[in-house]
Every structure is written in structure tokens, then in C-alpha cells.
A = this chain, B = another copy of it.
Amino acid sequence: MSATLATEPVAPSPGPHAATWTGSPHVAAFRPLERQATTLDFERNDEIFAQDEPAQYCYLVLSGCVRTVTLIEDGRRQVGEFLLPGDLFGCDSLAEHDFSAEAVTQVVVRRYCRRALESLADSSRELARTLRELSANQLRAARERMIMLGRKTASERIAGFLVEMSERGAVDAHGRIELPMSRTDVADHLGLTIETVCRGLSELHRVGTIAVNRGTVAIRNRRALDSAGIKIVH
């Protein structure tokens, strides 16, 4: 799970990955920051901020899907996470972002000044707590992804990814999981190649667990999907 500010349900965007939602964020603690915040639009594949850019701002996704990307010298790419409406990103950076953020689809974000956020956190224990909780959730998610990357097979990663996306509410009106990102993005998120992701999806399709379309996946057998994406001991 990622850093979702969940105090009230997000007003669902009417269209698939479209429709600008210009309402104010749904977190009381952020309200004092609204005055100096800005709403921004991005087109598909636009860069929202760059790796190693001074971390002046942080962002809240209003609509669309954002990916965070880290690059290594030789071009290898890691997609850290996919951010959906209600998710925050860039709040927990140090002086500089250590990853870039790019629009997967058309995106609308609300941009906040991190300096203002920090100083507000000094005076609002409410906000400070929210930020701590957010970090804790991010860290938990990061640990889960470490297991995914370090210890799971290709098909487990793919099934687990579908489960995660469905639980995070990336679901359309017909109950299908929305996958607005390319197979390349998914592969770079799961530490696999495009081909392996395709084969994994095809296999899940072949055995009747899911139905695959271009930008969506329909779940045919929830139980089978869940057990294909093994969980942590609890």
C-alpha cells in the first residue's frame, strides 16, 4: 500500500484516467497549506520532477496515475511505485529527490511547498502525526516490495501486483482492475522483463484466473489470484 491520505473517500473521477478534479484535498491538516498550493496538469509521460532535483515541493495526486522512477548508470530502470488519486509523493524526501516522478496518464496534481509543510508540521502535532503515519505506511510497503523483489517468482510477483492494484482501488465501473501503465512500467516495477510480464498474464488467463484486455484485467477467480500472490506470514 502506498501513502494514501484517507480520511474521506476520494470523489471518483468520472472518466477512465481522465477528468480534472479541482476540489481541495481531503485532509484537514493540509488545509492551511492550500493558500500557497498550486494545481498542475501533466500530459502522458511528462516529468513532474527530476531525479536529484532539489526537493522543493511535494504532491498530491488528484486524478490520473503517476510513477516514480530511479535510474542506474547503464540505463536500468526501477519503477518505485504507482500513485493513484489521493496518494502523496515527494513528501518524505531529503534535500533532493532521489527519484523522478512521471505522468503515466494525463494527470492532475496539487503541489505543496515542502518548506511550508515542514514548518506547519512544527506547530501542528496533527500534521506531524499524519506525516509519521504516512512514512510508516511507506516503509511497510517498501518492505513488502523487498520480499516481492528478493524472494518471489515471476508469476507470484505478477499476481501479487494485480491483487495490490485491486486493493488500492484501481478498479473501473465493471470491477476490472485498471492498468493504465505500460507493460514496460510493470516490468520495471516488478524487476522483470516485458516478455515475462506478458507470459505471466497470459498464463493466468490460460488457467482462467483473469481475463486480459489492453488497459484492464478482469478477475475471474479471486481465490486463485490471491493464492498465486503469496502473502506474508501473519
With A80-B146, A128-B128 in contact, do A98 and B151 touch (Cβ < 8 Å)?
A: no
Q: What residues of B have a CB within 8 angstroms of the CB of A188 in the complex?
A: 150-151
By Cβ-Cβ distance, the 10 closest A-B pairs, closest first, are: A150-B191, A135-B135, A149-B149, A142-B142, A149-B150, A122-B125, A71-B233, A76-B151, A78-B147, A128-B128
Bitwise, A147-169 to B at CB < 8 A (1) or not (0) is 10111100000000000000000
Looking at chain A's contact residues, the main secondary structure is: helix
Bitwise, A105-123 to B at CB < 8 A (1) or not (0) is 0000000000000100111
The docked-state distance in angstroms from the alpha carbon of A156 to that of B127 is 40
Q: Is the CB of A135 within 8 A of B139?
A: yes
Q: Count contacts on A: residues with CB < 8 A to the other chain.
A: 50
**Interface, chain A (partner B; CB < 8 A):** 51-52, 70-74, 76-78, 80, 92-94, 98-99, 118, 121-123, 125, 128-129, 131-133, 135-140, 142-147, 149-152, 188, 190-191, 230-234
